[in-house]
Each structure stands twice: as C-alpha cells, then as structure tokens.
Structure 1
C-alpha cells in the first residue's frame, strides 16, 4: 500500500478513491509522483498526492487534514503546469479520532 500521509484516515481514503477510479476506468494512476499531463509528459516537479487520466483528461487530488492556503497554492501550481487539466480536487480528511472527522471535497478548478 502506498502512503501519502502519517494520517491513517487519509491513506484509507486514498485507497478507496483508487478503487473507485479503477472501477470508473481511470488510467495512469500515480501516487506521490512528479506531475504528468494526460499525454504522459512530466509538466512539473511537484508531487500531487494522486493523479490520473479519465476520458483523455488529467485529474489531480490533494489531501489535507484542515483547510489551508497551502492547498490553494498547490492547486494553482498544478493548474499552471497543466492548463488542460480536467479538474483539481482538494479533500480534507481528518484523523479518525477527531470528533469532526468527515471527508470534505471541493474543486479547486
């Protein structure tokens, strides 16, 4: 299992997301790898937690434990590197023992 965080709930959410993407027919699923375009070219040195291609478009997913401006900066960097991206998703997933544990999903694009 590939890990993206010391936060177990985030790693579990990543694995569930990857399973769903396989079911949907996503291709070229990468975890913590240099940013690539839908054509397989490296377009950035940043490492989105998850990236994949679906229906010819490249999508990116970032995980956080709380809202932060850093996520918005990362999303802007991803978009600048790949202006033809299909979407950038920011997922806020807290620790399992956090009373506010939920998965919040928002689009950054």
Structure 2
C-alpha cells in the first residue's frame, strides 16, 4: 500500500512538472510577440484558435489560444481584440465584398 502511494506521488510530481514546463512555453511565446510588437505605435492582437493543417477536430487548439491570450493580456503591451468580435467584423466585410450587404 505504501509502495503504491509513493509511486502515485512520484507520477503526480512528474506530470505537474511537465505542466509547468508547458506553461513557461506559453509565457515565452507571449513575450516574443510583445517584443516584436514594441516596434508598432499601437499594437493590437487577436488570437484565433489553432487548427491542424489537415483540419482535424481537436480541443487542443482553443485551449492553446486561450492560454496564450491570457499570457499576452497579463503582459499589458497589446490591445487584445475579442475573437468573437473579430469574427463578426470579418463576416460583415465578407458580406460587403460579395455584394449581398450594403
């Protein structure tokens, strides 16, 4: 029983360290975006959900984009545009270019 407890404890510690390592990757990516954006007068960003190139369905894409968005918001160097609003604007622009909308 004690042996199983220690094995479970070690497994949980290993999994949590991988999670923290992944968290650092999101923060690193957010900082890289911020450094690039420092050259712009009013940096704005909208992060769309990540998708596989072959269009496979996955819950991972929206999770990655949410985590990255959270890190970027915390840096306070961008004006983050809400994705749903951006999608609405793009849809309206698309309607305007097709002539179905004035």
Is the TM value for this pair above 0.5? no
Flag the structure with more relative contact order, 1 or 2, with Cα contacts below 8 A and sequence separation at least 6: 2
Give the number of the structure whose residues are more often helix, by fraction.
Answer: 2
- Shorter chain as denominator, the TM-score bin is under 0.3
Give the number of the structure whose residues are more often strand, by fraction.
Answer: 1
TM superposition score normalised by structure 1: 0.26
